[in-house]
Amino acid sequence: MIRRHRPLLSAGLALGIGMGGFVDGILLHQILQLHNMLSARIANTDYVGAKVNMVWDGIFHAGVWIITAIGILLLWRAGRMRDADMGGRLLGGAALMGWGLFNLVEGAIDHHLLQLHHVYEPMGLSIWDHVFLLWGAAMLLGGWTVARARQ
Contact between residue 121 and residue 39 where contact means Cβ atoms under 8 Å apart: yes
User: Residue 116 carries which side chain, given as an amino acid letter?
Assistant: L
Other beta carbons less than 10 A from residue 32's beta carbon = 11
pLDDT above 70 for 151: no
pLDDT in tens, 3-39: 889 999 999 999 999 999 999 999 999 999 999 999 9
pLDDT above 70 for 150: no
**What is the C-alpha to C-alpha distance for residues 151 and 143, in angstroms, rounded to an integer?**
15
| CA dist 60 → 75, 87, 114, 132 (Å) | 23, 31, 15, 18
Virtual torsion, Cα 118, 121, 127, 131, nearest 10 deg = -50
pLDDT in tens, 123-140: 999 999 999 999 999 999
**What is the C-alpha to C-alpha distance for residues 10 and 20, in angstroms, rounded to an integer?**
15
**What is the C-alpha to C-alpha distance for residues 73 and 131, in angstroms, rounded to an integer?**
32
pLDDT in tens, 31-82: 999 999 999 999 999 999 999 999 999 999 999 999 999 999 999 999 999 9
pLDDT above 80 for 1: no
**What is the C-alpha to C-alpha distance for residues 119 and 68, in angstroms, rounded to an integer?**
23
State mean pLDDT over 105-123: 96
